[in-house]
């Protein structure tokens, strides 16, 4: 089975975020980076499928030169080779543009299965995987918690709302977006780190993609506080408090 895994490099969750001078992105010059957490679970699921079914795992990532950090980490964990779609402008691009760049590189690989994380830790659109499936003309399923390979395709478990789950059968090739917690992540071993240095990383330039969205401004949420005094006797005050909590605060 030939599996492609799309991974993204994001700033570490411990970073104290500050908006840059243009107020269109964060100040990331001195930031530290890590692999997007849902993508790490997608990579782990791909490695487990490879161990059970055979084949190879290809990691694909879009971004500037610094993205090589997470690519090497993925190779150290067990991926066989990588494709780096190098682009400075796509580091903060929307889901449609990133999906188009990924599709250009992945299409020629003729993969049996493509995995992405459910969403990114920075923008959180949860749209890149779905948009990529559309561009590749593949069936897809989202929020996957379990993957079973059957004789003629896949049987996958989707997480729904309210603690419910749904099993879906689908043909191959296909694309799945993986939910965090689907498995137990492995760490890169010293042997894997050394082996990663010899694995192929193919760098391609991203195609010219017109932007489909523009970040107009970023700002930190404003903290406000307001005190509302409720007059009247206890019964009237209690009734008014319930009304305010229900109709205005909307917490009831």
Q: Could you tell me which of 118, 72, 187 has the C-alpha nearest to residue 59?
A: 72
pLDDT of residue 89: 78
Contact (Cβ atoms closer than 8 angstroms) between residue 6 and residue 205: no
Residues of CATH 3.40.50.620 domain(s) within the chain?
Answer: 2-205
> Tokens at residue 190, please?
């010293």
Contact (Cβ atoms closer than 8 angstroms) between residue 143 and residue 111: no
pLDDT category, 159, cuts 50, 70, 90?
Answer: very high
CATH match for 2-205 among 3.40.50.800, 3.40.50.620, 2.60.40.60, 3.30.470.20: 3.40.50.620
pLDDT of residue 222: 78
Return the beta strands (E) in the chain as ranges. 2-6, 9-11, 33-35, 56-63, 81-86, 113-117, 140-149, 153-159, 165-171, 174-178, 201-205
User: For residue range 174-188, what is the model confidence (pLDDT) as tens digits?
Assistant: 999 999 999 999 989
Distance of CA 8 to the CA centre of its chain: 7
How long, in residues, is the chain?
Answer: 252
pLDDT of residue 48: 96
Q: Could you tell me which of 47, 41, 15 has the C-alpha nearest to residue 28?
A: 15
Segment 34-47 shows an average pLDDT of: 95
> Tokens at residue 226, please?
């307001």
What 3-state class would DSSP assign to 245? helix
Segment 21-37 shows an average pLDDT of: 80
Out of 9-23, 100-114, 196-210, which region has the weakest mean confidence (pLDDT)?
A: 9-23
| Helix (H), strand (E) at residue 236 | helix 234-243
| Helix (H), strand (E) at residue 40 | helix 37-53
- 25 has a pLDDT exceeding 80: no
pTM of the model: 0.83
- 171 has a pLDDT exceeding 90: yes
| Nearest-angstrom CA–CA distance, 31 and 27 | 8
Rg (CA), the chain: 22
* 20 or 114: which leads in pLDDT: 114
Strand partners, 4: 58, 114
- 73 has a pLDDT exceeding 80: yes
| Nearest-angstrom CA–CA distance, 65 and 247 | 51
| Nearest-angstrom CA–CA distance, 117 and 36 | 8
Pairing, β 165-171 against β 153-159: antiparallel
pLDDT of residue 140: 96
């Amino acid at each position: 089975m030939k599996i492609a895994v799309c991974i993204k490099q994001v700033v570490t969750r411990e970073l104290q975020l500050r908006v840059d001078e243009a107020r269109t992105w964060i100040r990331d010059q001195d930031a530290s980076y890590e692999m997007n957490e849902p993508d790490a679970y997608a990579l782990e699921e791909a490695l487990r499928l490879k161990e059970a079914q055979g084949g190879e795992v290809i990691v694909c990532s879009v971004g500037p030169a610094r993205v090589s950090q997470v690519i090497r980490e993925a190779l150290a964990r067990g991926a066989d080779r990588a494709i780096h779609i190098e682009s400075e402008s796509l580091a903060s691009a929307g889901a449609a543009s990133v999906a188009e760049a990924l599709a250009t590189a992945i299409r020629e690989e003729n993969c049996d299965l493509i995995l992405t994380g459910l969403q990114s830790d920075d923008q959180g659109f949860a749209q890149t995987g779905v948009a990529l499936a559309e561009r590749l003309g593949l069936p897809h399923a989202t929020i996957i918690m379990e993957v079973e390979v059957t004789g003629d395709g896949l049987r996958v478990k989707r997480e729904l709302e309210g603690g419910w789950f749904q099993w879906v059968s689908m043909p191959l090739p296909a694309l799945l977006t993986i939910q965090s917690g689907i498995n137990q992540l492995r760490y890169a071993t010293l042997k894997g780190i050394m082996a990663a240095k010899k694995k192929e990383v193919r760098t391609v330039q991203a195609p010219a993609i017109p932007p489909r969205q523009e970040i107009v401004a970023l700002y930190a949420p404003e903290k406000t506080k307001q005190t509302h005094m409720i007059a009247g006797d206890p019964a009237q005050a209690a009734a008014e408090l319930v009304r305010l909590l229900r109709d205005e605060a909307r917490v009831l």
